[in-house]
Chain A
Amino acid sequence: MRLRSITIALVCMVAACSVRVERNPDVMVSTLNADPTILNPVLQTDANAYSVTAYIYESLLERDNTTLEEMPRLAERWEISDDGLTFTFHLRKDVKWQDGKPFTADDVIYTFNQIMNPKIDSARLRNYYKDVEKAEKIDDYTVRFTFKYPYFRALQMIGGMSIIPKHLYDTGADFNTNPLNRTPIGTGPYRFKEWVAGNRIILERNEDYWREKPRITGIVYKIIADSTVLFQLLKKGAIDTATIQPIQWVRQTESEHFNKLFRKYKYYPPNRYFIAWNHRRPYFSDKRVRKALTMLINREAMLDKLFFGQGVVVTSTVYRFGPNYDPNIKPLPYDPVAAVKLLDEAGWKDSDGDGVRDKDGVKFEFDYLMRAGSKQGKSIGLIMKQDLGRVGIDVNIRQLEGATMFKLLNERNYDSMSFGWVGPPEDDPYQVWHSTQMEKGSNVIGFQNKRIDEIVEQVRREFDPEKRKKLLYEFQEILHEEQPYTFLYTLADLVVLSQRFIDVKEYPLGLDMMEWGVKPGVKILEW
């Protein structure tokens, strides 16, 4: 009996070894944290979809890795009229769709028309293009876009539009439910091969690509939801690259074994995090109070405790490592003594001796909303509750589900909450800051400042980067003085990549897989 169970165990072990599969070293295995919703650049709204379609579809222009300036891609050159309203693009004539059909001006116009078509589920994208007056085809390889107003991001927006094939989509089938949305065909360096829902997406190299082919012959995206599992998979060698957590970066990647297998890269994508104060509340309407709040919140300590120092404290919404950030403005220091003075000055004193400050009968007591399950949101809330509680400000932490939080934010029915956003390196401050955006727009805190309104209007129409920079410097000074939000930090992306890949260069916004090669003679067994 004993012997038999040992034999069975042995057989199982042998079987287990034989059911392993070898994988191709020229193919990179990466991950996504969930299935993309759809693989169609006109319809997709999630980051996972963008990371896959970025290799399948292409846009007219691309951003240079180093200078972040616009460079030709599907368009070989372009002209801007003197009034800054019309943009004419001359398309390359040697580009083919992955099914062999030529790429022409019709595809560009078709893509634009689909974005603007109310029957099509592209609400998010349509927002960006609503100031385009018309898009015309001049000839088969020339298109012209005309804007209603001059806008400094116009070139980026048109240039960044991913072009979809007209000849495949325009067949009378419903656009939103077209099967092509799950089996895309583009002009890009990789073509779609397979999507096993909830499991993996496979891309293979486009052997007929119109410019130099990448050396990596395929990309596999595994769908991995959990960050601990992701890290274990990485250590097992089952995946080649991953963005990992700060604690893993600092504490769990120093072993010699790990560093023999992987290289680590750290860079700062354009993200920013902050705490929003609803200015409609009596306590948040006074800038002295907002300043005091910022000085009561120890942002450096938050970064250290929550993110092991993998980020930088910022002073505004302008991208920390972009061209327009003013490094001369220093974040307000953590200074509870000065903060208490400011609070007293503003008239928020504990007049009835119950331990909570008040003014004109209003207690300084507010709700802080956080998304249920958000570790970051909760930690910020707890730190705030403790630090503000010490000086007589009562914070109630309320956990809500995401959709509910959005609803309250939209109704402007909240006191404070923390969030972040990721945008382009040089974004347009209009939606977030202009006073016309208070009711329905993104100015969720209800911030009003005449000078800020003027500046953001001018920035929109200013094509000269130097003048824009000057305006935005002034903008940042005002924000620093007003402290409309308590600006927290920009967080680093912490990326681990297999040593197998060579010629890997670091750029401000990350790595560019298109340049990499693969060390020859590597053999990998996988599960």
Chain B
Amino acid sequence: MLSYVIKRMLLMIPTLIGITIITFVIIRLAPGDPIALKAQSSMDALGSDQAQVAIVEETRKLYGLDKPLYVQYAKWIGQIATLDFGTSYRDHRPVIDKIGDALPITLTLNIISILLIYIISVPIGALCALRPRTFFDRISALGLFVLYSLPSFWVAMMLIIYLAGGDYLNLFPIVGFESDNASVLPWYDWIGNVAWHLVLPVACLTYGGFAFLSRFSRASVLEVIRKDYIRTARAKGLSEWKVVVRHAMRNALIPLMTISSTLLPALLGGSVIIEQIFSIPGMGRLGFESVLTRDYPVIMAIAFISAFLTLLSILITDILYAVVDPRITFEDKG
């Protein structure tokens, strides 16, 4: 087992290098360059005669963008080896600080909303599977698919205008994570304050996720529930609860785990739209703004971290398979 994990870890290195090379080349091939964008944030300074061209060249040198691409890449990968992500072109802050600011916010939001999605949709799916093609099955499917198809920016706007605006109900705060002076509150009130701030964004992040997961868990429960061992369990006279939760769900969870391998990277990636609307400074906005301003160090760092997490979570899922299903093993049988 251990040797298997080590082998997989070592295999991740060339994969990561491959991913970063491709990302590096793609963002450089994209038209536009950070220096020109900076020198010409408005019309009046679109580079002009000799002197201005020289100034742009100087800046290019300052950022190290005058060297050939492979030299730049080699320099970048060298820095990464020491976990140095460089500094942003935009504001000269260390990239790691910028990510450090954005990550906890995105993590909090995503953990809460992903948990909610699982807690709500897995039982709904299971319930549907136990009563297939009944009224409940159909109506919940319809309801969840309606939710799934509502665009989040529209829902966010409606929630804000009707539940948190100045015209109708004014129940919730709209922006940020906590009130500006929230630090003066005692801790229990502070938690209340933060929770109250999170209600609307979390609602927007969750509602669309129910449909897929509940249908998925319905299908896998449905498959298991007709198996012989379930009939045996029922024949033994076990209560329905025990049959479903102890016998059916355990096996139904295995396909669900495959999906959860996308969880870790999903936790990291923020939603640009929701973050923009609720003024939440998370990873989505950071990545989006970096792409728009061609802030190469930040783009590369985000790409690297999410690639790493994706590989890591695939590995973790593989290991978990062995944990839940004793038939799967990584030991050499030969």
Contact = CB atoms under 8 A, between A and B. Distances in A.
Contacts of B177: 199
B175 interface: yes
B281 A410 contact: no
Contact of B41 (A121, A124, A228, A423): A124
B59 to A, nearest CB: 5
A436 B49 contact: yes
Contacts of A419: 43
A220 B181 CA distance: 12
A233 B175 contact: yes
Interface stretch (B85-93, B130-138, B209-217): B85-93
Nearest to A35: B281
A363 to B, nearest CB: 27
Which has the most chain B C-beta neighbours within 10 Å: A20, A45, A46, A127? A127
Nearest to B183: A21
B41 A123 contact: no
B39 A19 contact: no
Contacts of B157: 228
Q: Is the interface of A mostly helix, strand, loop or mixed?
A: mixed
Contacts of B167: 235
B196 A197 contact: no
B279 A401 contact: no
A224 B246 CA distance: 49
A409 B32 CA distance: 11
A232 B160 contact: yes
Contact of A440 (B41, B47, B277): B47
A441 B279 contact: no
A388 interface: no
B93 A182 contact: yes
Nearest to A428: B44
A441 B49 contact: yes
A442 B43 contact: yes
Nearest to B53: A440
Interface in A397-456: 401-404, 406-410, 419, 421-423, 427, 431-432, 436-437, 440-442, 444
Contacts of A238: 173-175
Given A232-B166, A235-B167, A442-B46, A23 B181 contact: yes
A37 B293 CA distance: 11
A229 B160 contact: yes
A413 to B, nearest CB: 11
A198 B175 contact: no
B38 interface: yes
Contacts of B292: 401-403
A222 B56 contact: no
Interface in A233-256: 233-238
A407 B91 CA distance: 22
B280 interface: yes
B79 interface: no
B184 A21 contact: yes
A198 B101 contact: yes
Given A124-B45, A232-B166, A237-B166, A18 B189 contact: yes
Nearest to A235: B166
A431 B43 CA distance: 9
B180 A223 contact: no
Contact of B91 (A38, A421, A437): A38
A436 B101 CA distance: 47
A45 B38 contact: yes
A225 B273 CA distance: 10
A427 B294 CA distance: 30
B181 A403 contact: no
Given A177-B92, A232-B164, A403-B32, A34 B42 contact: no
Given A127-B55, A197-B101, A226-B276, A431 B44 contact: yes
Which has the most chain A C-beta neighbours within 10 Å: B55, B277, B280? B55
B97 to A, nearest CB: 9
Interface string B82-118: 0000010011110000100110000000000000000
A16 interface: yes
A16 B38 contact: no
Which has the most chain B C-beta neighbours within 10 Å: A21, A130, A176? A21
A21 B165 CA distance: 18
A119 interface: yes
Contacts of A200: 176, 180
Interface string B25-52: 0000011110111111111111111011
Contact of A45 (B30, B41, B48, B98): B41
B171 interface: yes
A401 B161 CA distance: 30
A118 interface: yes
Interface in A57-110: none
A285 interface: no
A38 B32 contact: no
A357 to B, nearest CB: 31
A236 B166 contact: yes
A226 B92 contact: no
B192 interface: yes
A440 B48 contact: yes
B45 A127 contact: yes
B279 A236 contact: no
A421 B35 contact: no
Contacts of A500: none
Given A21-B185, A225-B276, A421-B43, A37 B53 contact: no
B90 A37 contact: yes
A527 interface: yes
B62 interface: yes
Nearest to A257: B166
A121 B171 CA distance: 46
B48 A19 contact: no
Given A222-B279, A421-B43, A404 B166 contact: no
A15 B192 contact: yes
B182 interface: yes
Nearest to B101: A197
A166 interface: no
A469 interface: no
B66 interface: no
B58 interface: yes
A121 B92 contact: yes
Contact of B56 (A123, A409, A431): A123
B289 interface: yes
A126 B55 contact: yes
A235 B185 CA distance: 25
Contact of B277 (A19, A119, A223, A226): A226
A140 interface: no
B218 interface: no
Contact of B175 (A18, A177, A224, A423): A224
A442 to B, nearest CB: 4
Interface in B154-174: 157, 160-161, 164-167, 170-174
Interface of A: 15-16, 18-23, 34-35, 37-38, 43, 45-46, 118-119, 121, 123-124, 126-128, 130, 176-177, 181-182, 197-200, 220, 222-226, 228-229, 232-238, 401-404, 406-410, 419, 421-423, 427, 431-432, 436-437, 440-442, 444, 526-527
Interface of B: 30-33, 35-49, 51-53, 55-56, 58-59, 62, 87, 90-93, 98, 101-102, 157, 160-161, 164-167, 170-177, 179-182, 184-185, 189-190, 192-193, 196-197, 276-282, 285, 289, 292-294
15 contacts: A15-B189, A19-B189, A21-B184, A43-B92, A46-B41, A123-B55, A127-B39, A127-B45, A223-B281, A228-B157, A228-B161, A236-B174, A419-B43, A423-B42, A526-B179
Given A21-B180, A127-B39, 4 more contacts: A16-B196, A222-B180, A441-B52, A527-B173
* Those 9 A-B pairs whose CB atoms lie nearest each other, nearest first: A198-B281, A235-B166, A403-B32, A527-B173, A441-B48, A421-B43, A232-B165, A118-B58, A19-B193
